[in-house]
A = this chain, B = another copy of it.
């Protein structure tokens, strides 16, 4: 249970080293999460309408090989653990080569809390969005 999001590296995303600047990876991860959540029949927009936001608590990124302008990338996203209060996603970034093979450029993780949109205090997603909670956890169990 994972999503694959296609990203083309934008010129504005490069820096004067001639590579995609590292600050773009968390943005690409976020595009990955956006697609991942849609696998479960919902979306970030719908979760926000339901009064739940998922601010970031922790981010890790490992950079192996650089991504270059106009590279076609695949962001592979999956959930590695989820509790009533927190969710952790993992990502790999791969480049699609001209011959169709994929080269891994790096990987990362993000850990998010579930908070109520109005109070910004932690909320129990198991109670607030039980169906989504069960579906994602079923996917997590399948991984392990």
Contacts and interface: CB of A to CB of B under 8 A. Distances in A.
B70 A45 contact: yes
Contacts of A18: 16
Given A15-B15, A69-B44, A10 B30 contact: yes
B11 A15 contact: yes
B22 A26 contact: yes
Contacts of A43: 70
Interface in A6-55: 8, 10-12, 14-19, 21-27, 30-31, 34, 43-45, 48, 53, 55
Contact of A15 (B8, B12, B66): B12
B70 A62 contact: no
A85 interface: no
A28 to B, nearest CB: 9
